Amino acid sequence: MSSQKKAENNTGRFPYFNRELSWLAFNRRVLEQAESEDYPLLERMKFLAFVSSNLDEFFEIRVAGLLQQVKSGTIQRGPDGLGPKEQIRRIQSICKRLVGDTYDCWDQKIVPGLKGSDVHFCKYDALTRNEKRWVETYFQEQVFPVLTPLAIDPAHPFPQLTNKALYILASIDDPETRIIESLMAIIPIPRVLPRIVKVGVPRRGKPDVYIFLSDIVQRFITRLFPGYRVRSAVPFRITRNSDLYIDEEEVENLLQKIEEELMNMHKGAAVRLEIAKGADPALLQELLEAIHLTPDNVYTIDGPLNLFRLMSAYDLIERPDLKFHHNTPYHPKELESSERIFDVIAAKDVLLHHPFDSFQPFVDFLNQAATDPQVFAIKQTLYRTSGDSPIIEALIEASRRGKQVTVLVEIKARFDEANNIQWARRLEDVGVHVVYGLVGLKTHCKTCMIVRREGTTLRRYVHLGTGNYNPKTAKLYTDLSFFTAREDITEEVAGLFNTLTGFSLTPSFKKLLVAPFTLHSNIQKYIRAETRNARAGKPARIIVQTNSLVDQETIDNLYRASQAGVKIDLIVRGICNLVPNVKGISENIRVRSILGRYLEHSRIFYFENSSGSQALIFAGSADWMPRNFYRRIEAVFPIEDTEHRERVMCILETYLKDTKSARILRANGAYHKIPAKKGAQAFSAQDFFIKQSEAKRNVLARELEDDVKIKPAVSPTMPIPPEI
């Protein structure tokens, strides 16, 4: 039997993993972070919240799409060969185990651990007498006035239930009749009410006590139905199809159309019902019929619904000892004076590694541009940003000062559509020229350009990044930032903006790799070049860090490179459709996923000898997925400065040495821990970068204290850690 046939027998019809099942394996790794005793308890609680939030989005988009295929009779098989029905069957089986394990983690690990640290999550019955009185008063004064019970009977039709909103399903009975009626009532829980309540009565020893709002409502629900008996009352929530279906070529006003679709999104087809145990079986069946779901789509929960609400508890609980030690990012000395930031970039390119390096230099870059009288124009893309963004404020200030400001706001950024529409209108109100990108393409590139008059000439300054212009996520995601005034780069960025705001069928890019124009073809070219080099006995190696690897042509070319002997290391945080370590196909490919304190978000690509003279190193906004290659505007930039190349290689090699947070993907689809060498401690890449940042801050502090300019004892290219 040939190696190809063996590979097909090992992995199914094709040597590819299923995209949806690979994503579920990623969410399982997120759950492992919550289960890990290496993290503080409240950080583990946050990981549980991430598991819940991730599953919401997965059902809203991916499962909804599969169910829609089944309903329409459209069969779209992926490269793995699985049809939608089989995928749904496997997803339901895996998700029910995943949900069960998530609540086991909450009940058996997180709650007892927090209790041991004097943070109590209690049911009503476990409260003290004084606490019960406080909760009763809280219900009567803060909750009861805003509750509206909805009877379901011939005179009251079944209500429209909002996507992911919290409800109580109550079975009501008239005690005056001999027949048990099981009347249905639904109580919507308004979003304005906090889902986790801190009990305002201190216990002896002053531990914090918290209770879920749903538990409070369940306890006092009889007050909503005077004279009736409540036989059961259980919380539930519905997940609906939340994808936006818009034919942009047929839409005259995209902004208005998306606003209309956002209103309709809450009414999308139901795809999942989460309900607490103890529901009246007859009412549950009636509920399923009303929302057009089958029992297969029901997830019975033994615990509080929607653990994403634990994110609010993380902020509510003021216990620094149960959270990560605060990490102060390193702020390079040469960038501390915002007034000199253009001088610094004009003299030398700047590369930053967030969150170990501060994101503040970019904020300063934009703030200085907003107030600098020599700056004439600012152009920027915005995919996602924070609610109180200093980025938005700087752009508004620049426009008020008479500068030409152009912003490409991606209003189709999934789940951020409403926020982005809000910012778009606010920017337009102050005279910013807002553009919504190209028809059929999302603007996903992270690009900012400043045009400044210097003497008799205009000079461009550019920032390119791998992450969003969001100061909040810049503290939580690992990303690269690149500042340059080099004409060969800035000219192409100017061309990219002209393509986005005007008309250009065949834009020309030599330095940048831009999707959907040149990125995919060039990536394939570089992989094939490594393949030829390996066959010719030349140095050949590929290292890729990305969030997802899905594109089939890219995977096929990586397989061929492996067959030729190219050593390939893939650091893929999430979805990976490539099957590694298959004899004759991918035995030279290693795939690892790293999940840690920070979300790995950088996209870095290394091709050892593709240029014939030195390795090619790129970073940018694009994952290796069809949507990034063909349906988005992406910008990938070269790393050419010697010092920056050394630093990026240090970053990649450090990740490849991780034995603490990394998991290795096996050919059977399972991820396994990497055993540390005998006598050695497990090594964390992120911990190494934190220590590196601390060392550089300490050197800078000594320099400032002595007020003497000395060469730093710890350079930005801190040596790669020793072999583990």
**Region at 476 (left for phi over 0; alpha for psi -120 to 50; beta for the rest):** alpha
- Rounded to the nearest 10 degrees, what angle do helices 41-57 and 84-105 cross at? 160
Which among 364, 356, 428 has a CA at the least distance from the CA of 391? 364
Classified as helix, coil or strand, 115 is helix
Which among 379, 388, 386 has a CA at the least distance from the CA of 443? 379
User: If you ran DSSP here, which 8-state letter would residue 701 be given?
Assistant: H
- Phi/psi at 596 (5° precision): -150, -155
What does the DSSP assignment read for 168-232? EEEEEE-TTSSS---EEEEEE--TTS-SEEE-SSPPTT--EEEEEHHHHHHHTGGGGSTT-EEEE
- Please state, in angstroms and as integers, the Cα–Cα distance from residue 650 to each residue in 466, 476, 487, 654, following that order: 17, 21, 27, 6
- Please state, in angstroms and as integers, the Cα–Cα distance from residue 380 to each residue in 368, 383, 408, 464, 624, following that order: 15, 10, 6, 10, 24
Candidate list 444, 520, 601, 644, residue with the active-site label: 444
User: If you ran DSSP here, which 8-state letter would residue 377 be given?
Assistant: E
- Phi/psi at 465 (5° precision): -145, 170
- Phi/psi at 571 (5° precision): -105, 95
Burial of 328 (0-12, 13-18, 19+ CB in 10 A): exposed
Q: How far apart are CA 82 and CA 290, in angstroms?
A: 30
Cα 203 to the chain's mean position, in Å? 38
The half-sphere exposure of 60 on its side-chain side, counting CA atoms within 13 A, is 20
Burial of 288 (0-12, 13-18, 19+ CB in 10 A): middle
Q: How far apart are CA 622 and CA 635, in angstroms?
A: 7
Q: How far apart are CA 692 and CA 586, in angstroms?
A: 35
Classified as helix, coil or strand, 252 is coil
From the CB of residue 412, how many other CB atoms can be counted at a distance below 10 Å? Answer: 19
What amino acid is encoded at 520 in this protein? Answer: H
Q: How far apart are CA 532 and CA 458, in angstroms?
A: 44
266 an active-site residue? no
Q: How far apart are CA 138 and CA 128, in angstroms?
A: 15
- Please state, in angstroms and as integers, the Cα–Cα distance from residue 473 to each residue in 22, 598, 601, following that order: 25, 10, 10
Dihedral of CA atoms 211, 213, 216, 217 in degrees, nearest 10, equals: -170
**Catalytic residues, which ones?**
444
